[in-house]
């Protein structure tokens, strides 16, 4: 079991499969991209599956979320999902993606055992999409969403970040579109995880701003607190139901006390929090003479992981005036 000194138990594992991405979102990375990890630094498919197996069979993990970078860029993705679906007990598995390439892969991922997807889409306007992502791929994302829904990767959740002066007027339109297409929309406050370290608290679109905008067109009824559990999104019933909209207010309404997540980067580092400034290396243990080595055994790796999570801090520190943004950007950490 992955427990920390505050009594929180991690049952949800976020696995970054690559640091690469085929978009250049302004709130994530610079236009020229980043220096990607070398192949030797990345975990192999076998290493990823082994760590997930240890997490599921020895550490109590019940949910796996594959992330990136952009996980659809990982050549072995379908095979990794298929192998993890065979674990006992079988974990629930989801994927966070920008949706480019999902039209081509949705059916195969469903057949391999993936349960559902989260797709990032910040705007309904192709010109704004191009400005935000520096790529002209809006149509591909829309088609990817449709393919995911048709393949049964449901509920399809759409993640949206609102940026001042770009798409901050779109919240009601996005919700109307999501309801029409049977997607669950979730707005995410912009977080200090950009490679450029350009994030500023002043001027960001807050959860309060988003809800105020939505209520100009919709009746929102807050779900009971018991419905949320450890989920990061607060949810509201839209116009009496059945559709819901969520807001992930990591900055203004932190939910650290209920966190049940542990994170694995594409190069094999355990992160106890998105905003952690420290990591614990599992890759070195994995490569220490494999299974029969005392240092590289499944049990040894599980002990390292447990120790890392035991040291998890009480909160993200975002509300602390001395908060320091992590050196590694979102693309390296995994969402």
For 207-239, write each residue's pLDDT tens digit.
999 999 999 999 999 987 666 666 788 999 999
On whether 315 is known to bind a ligand per the annotation, the reply is no
On whether 120 is known to bind a ligand per the annotation, the reply is yes
On whether 84 is known to bind a ligand per the annotation, the reply is no
In the numeric block, which tokens belong to residue 242? 């059945």
On whether 262 is known to bind a ligand per the annotation, the reply is yes
Q: For the residues 59-74, what does the mean pLDDT come to?
A: 96
Q: What is the spatial distance between Cα 266 and Cα 312, in angstroms, rounded to a whole number?
A: 20
Residues 6+ apart with CB under 8 A from 216: 172
φ/ψ of 308, rounded to 5, equals -60, -45
Pairing of strands 261-264, 12-16: parallel
On whether 69 is known to bind a ligand per the annotation, the reply is yes
How much of the chain is helix, strand and coil, in % rounded to 5? 30, 15, 50
**So what's the pLDDT on residue 294?**
55
On whether 28 is known to bind a ligand per the annotation, the reply is yes
On whether 263 is known to bind a ligand per the annotation, the reply is yes
On whether 14 is known to bind a ligand per the annotation, the reply is yes
From the list 214, 259, 261, 275, the residue with the least C-alpha distance to 239 is: 214
Backbone dihedral region of 268: left (phi > 0), alpha (psi from -120 to 50 degrees) or beta? left
pLDDT, tens digit (0-9, with 9 covering 90-100), for 19-50: 998 888 877 777 676 778 889 999 999 999 99
Banded pLDDT at 194 (limits 50, 70, 90):
low
Banded pLDDT at 195 (limits 50, 70, 90):
low
From the list 82, 55, 84, the residue with the least C-alpha distance to 298 is: 55
For 141, half-sphere exposure in the C-beta direction (CA atoms, 13 angstrom radius) is: 26
3-class state of residue 280 by DSSP: strand
Is 295's pLDDT higher than 90?
no
Beta bridge partners of 188: 248
Residues 6+ apart with CB under 8 A from 62: 11, 12, 56, 89, 91, 92
In the numeric block, which tokens belong to residue 139? 């149509």
Global confidence as pTM: 0.91
**So what's the pLDDT on residue 227?**
65
On whether 253 is known to bind a ligand per the annotation, the reply is no
On whether 65 is known to bind a ligand per the annotation, the reply is yes
3-class state of residue 206 by DSSP: coil
């Amino acid at each position: 079991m992955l427990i920390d000194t505050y009594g929180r138990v991690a049952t949800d594992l976020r696995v970054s499969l690559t640091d690469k991405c085929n978009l250049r979102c302004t709130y994530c990375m610079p236009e020229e991209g980043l220096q990607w990890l070398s192949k030797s630094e990345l975990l192999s498919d076998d290493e990823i599956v082994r760590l997930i197996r240890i997490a599921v069979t020895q550490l109590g993990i019940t949910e796996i979320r594959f992330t990136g970078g952009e996980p659809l860029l990982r050549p072995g993705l379908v095979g990794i999902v298929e192998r993890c679906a065979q674990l006992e007990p079988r974990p629930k598995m989801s994927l966070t993606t920008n949706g480019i390439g999902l039209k081509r892969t949705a059916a195969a991922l469903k057949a391999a055992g993936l349960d559902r997807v989260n797709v990032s889409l910040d705007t309904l306007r192709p010109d704004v999409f191009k400005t935000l992502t520096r790529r002209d791929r809006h149509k591909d994302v829309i088609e990817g969403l449709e393919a995911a829904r048709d393949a049964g990767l449901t509920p399809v959740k759409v993640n949206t970040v609102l940026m001042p002066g770009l798409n901050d007027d779109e919240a009601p339109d996005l919700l109307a579109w999501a309801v029409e297409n049977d997607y669950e929309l979730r707005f995410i406050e912009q977080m200090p995880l950009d490679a450029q370290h350009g994030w500023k608290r002043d001027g960001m679109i807050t959860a309060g701003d988003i809800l105020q905008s939505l209520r100009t067109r919709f009746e929102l009824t807050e779900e009971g607190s018991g419905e949320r559990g450890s989920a990061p999104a607060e949810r509201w019933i839209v116009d009496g139901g059945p559709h819901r909209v969520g807001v992930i207010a990591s900055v203004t309404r932190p939910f650290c006390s209920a966190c049940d997540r542990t994170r694995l980067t594409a190069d094999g580092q355990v992160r106890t929090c998105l905003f952690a400034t420290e990591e614990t290396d599992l890759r070195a243990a994995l490569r220490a003479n494999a299974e029969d080595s005392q240092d590289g055994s499944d049990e040894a790796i599980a002990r390292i992981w447990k120790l890392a999570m035991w040291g998890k801090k009480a909160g993200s520190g975002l509300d602390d005036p001395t908060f320091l943004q992590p050196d590694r950007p979102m693309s390296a950490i995994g969402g």
